[in-house]
A and B are shown apart, each in its own frame.
Chain A
Amino acid sequence: MAEEVKLFGKWASPFCCRIEVALKLKGVEYEYIEEDMLNKSPALLNYNPVHKKIPVLVHNGKPIAESLVIMEYIDETWKHNPILPIDPFEKAMARFWAKFIDDKFWALWPGVKKAITSSGEKEREEGIEEAQLHLNALETQLKEKKFFGGEKLGFVEISASLLIWIVVFQEVMGVEILTQEKFPALHKLTQKFVDDDVFKQCVPPWEPLVAYFKAQWGTLAASK
């Protein structure tokens, strides 16, 4: 039976980027379908009725949602070029750290939102400090860990690619959050993504991405 792989995504989404990286690393051919999140297609609502979100991978008609779940599915279905380690303990560590990265990314969002929507300088700085607290947690843990050790990109590094979006946020906000000085390990990691051949194909073009978030957040600030 011919293999049919579709990815429902949003070009500006870090979670979709992860899936595209995973698919490309495995050399899996897929059809990409861009979703308008303000006008979700019947297909998306049919394939992800629970969360109604992207990314959704559809493999031979069967849908899978949630980026970390999708990544494990890709790794277990196309077994060459493994993304997750083989050893159960190393695998457990990879799962733990990928979830930690996700949790921190979501945790820093209220701080970022506060910085975008506040009119006062003091509140803005408070928001940035809140966001940096969570980045601090990431920096401390990543500095001590060896998952950037190899040449190959693995589960944790692919998950961590959403850190590039923090650099985008900085440019949009006109403020530095992820400074090289305060966060050398995180900064080094974002540089690794930018230099990597596979990532380059998957990370959206910089200027349009910055413009996209500027427009989004302009609305966010205005609606406050």
Chain B
Amino acid sequence: MAEQKVKLLGFWVSPFMYRVIWALKLKGIDYEYIEEDIFNKSPLLLQLNPIHKKVPVLIHGDRVICESYVIVQYIDETWPHCPLLPQDPYERAMARFWADFAETKLLMTASIALCGRGEVQERAVKQAMEAVEKIEGVVKGKKLFGGESIGYLDICLGWMSYWLPVWEEVGGMQIIDPIKFPATSSWMNTFLHHPVIGDNLPARDAMIEYFQKRSKDISESDWFEGVIRLHLQP
């Protein structure tokens, strides 16, 4: 099965897609990349991911897997060399717990901070920083969440090292205060400087331009209010 062809459906600036790219690259797995225009979704995407209609989608032989954290674990279990998740069940549970925490408490609040302004942005920044404070406690004393090498949690949180600084710049706000969060800042630097990661990132200028437009569009959309209600504490 492992020798079957691998394809990845993605969008050039998606942090979720990059989790899959990093996992594939770290394991040295060859794959064909298919760029998807998420604003004009192809019949292929709608056929492969009818539930969420999102990227990334991994196609392995005739198997289709969606959702980045499901895909990364699938990759880890199908190609067990260079393991991403720890061997110990408790450590695995901790990696999964913190990946879920960062997704629900940090990623969403940070993206609200990117798009929102005034009081909404202030609340979002405050709550994002509360989340980072917890992450700081987890990474303190470690080179990487995975120890000496990149692991599952590093991959799941990897967006913090590159996307978050872009969002801070575009949104005119700061979440990662290096004085308040020295361990997190150090981790971000270590992660970014890993050759596999550094060689597999979207162009920063293009990202700034993209998020400037995207954040404006989102803030003006009807559904942004709903996102705020769902993900931001009052």
Please list the residues of chain A having a beta carbon within 8 angstroms of any beta carbon in chain B. Answer: 50, 59, 62, 64-66, 69-70, 72-73, 76-77, 88-89, 91-92, 95-96, 99-100, 141
| CB–CB A76/B100 < 8 A | no
How distant is the Cα of A91 from the Cα of B73 in the complex, in angstroms? 9
Known: A64-B97, A89-B63, A89-B65. A96 touches B70 (CB 8 A): yes
Contact among A66, A92, A100 with B71 in the assembled complex (CB-CB below 8 Å)? A92
Contacts of A77 in B (CB 8 A): 89
Q: What would 11 more interface pairs be, CB under 8 Å, given A64-B97, A95-B70?
A: A59-B90, A66-B97, A69-B96, A72-B92, A72-B93, A76-B89, A88-B77, A89-B60, A89-B63, A95-B67, A141-B51
B40 touches A (CB below 8 Å)? no
Contacts of A59 in B (CB 8 A): 90
Interface band, chain B = 20 to 34
How distant is the Cα of A92 from the Cα of B96 in the complex, in angstroms? 14
Contacts of B60 in A (CB 8 A): 89
| CB–CB A91/B92 < 8 A | no
Contacts of A96 in B (CB 8 A): 65-67, 70
Known: A65-B97, A69-B100. A88 touches B74 (CB 8 A): yes
9 pairs, CB–CB < 8 Å, chain A vs chain B: A50-B134, A59-B90, A69-B100, A70-B93, A72-B92, A73-B92, A89-B63, A89-B65, A92-B65
B33 touches A (CB below 8 Å)? no
B11 → chain A closest CB, angstroms:
20
How distant is the Cα of A193 from the Cα of B66 in the complex, in angstroms? 28
Task: List residues of B (22-81) whose CB comes within 8 Å of A's CBs.
Answer: 51, 60, 63, 65-67, 70-71, 73-74, 77-78
How distant is the Cα of A98 from the Cα of B67 in the complex, in angstroms? 12
Contacts of B210 in A (CB 8 A): none
Contact among B73, B78, B93, B97 with A95 in the assembled complex (CB-CB below 8 Å)? B73
Contacts of B96 in A (CB 8 A): 66, 69, 72
Task: List residues of B (83-119) whose CB comes within 8 Å of A's CBs.
Answer: 89-90, 92-94, 96-97, 100-101
How distant is the Cα of A111 from the Cα of B115 in the complex, in angstroms? 27
Contacts of A50 in B (CB 8 A): 101, 134
Contacts of B67 in A (CB 8 A): 95-96, 99
Please list the residues of chain B having a beta carbon within 8 angstroms of any beta carbon in chain A. Answer: 51, 60, 63, 65-67, 70-71, 73-74, 77-78, 89-90, 92-94, 96-97, 100-101, 134
Contacts of B101 in A (CB 8 A): 50
How distant is the Cα of A99 from the Cα of B63 in the complex, in angstroms? 19
Top 9 nearest A-B pairs by Cβ distance?
A88-B77, A76-B89, A73-B93, A92-B74, A64-B93, A69-B96, A77-B89, A88-B78, A95-B70
How distant is the Cα of A73 from the Cα of B85 in the complex, in angstroms? 13
Contacts of A65 in B (CB 8 A): 97
Contact among A64, A89, A91 with B90 in the assembled complex (CB-CB below 8 Å)? A64
Contacts of A76 in B (CB 8 A): 89, 92
B225 → chain A closest CB, angstroms:
13
A74 → chain B closest CB, angstroms:
9
Contacts of B71 in A (CB 8 A): 92
| CB–CB A92/B92 < 8 A | no
Contacts of B70 in A (CB 8 A): 92, 95-96, 99
How distant is the Cα of A193 from the Cα of B165 in the complex, in angstroms? 48
A189 → chain B closest CB, angstroms:
18
B75 → chain A closest CB, angstroms:
9
Contacts of A64 in B (CB 8 A): 90, 93-94, 97
Contacts of B77 in A (CB 8 A): 88, 91
How distant is the Cα of A141 from the Cα of B78 in the complex, in angstroms? 26
| CB–CB B51/A73 < 8 A | no
How distant is the Cα of A66 from the Cα of B70 in the complex, in angstroms? 17
Contacts of A141 in B (CB 8 A): 51
Contact among B73, B78, B97 with A69 in the assembled complex (CB-CB below 8 Å)? B97
Residue of B nearest to A89 (CB): B63
Contacts of B63 in A (CB 8 A): 89
Residue of B nearest to A92 (CB): B74
How distant is the Cα of A62 from the Cα of B97 in the complex, in angstroms? 13
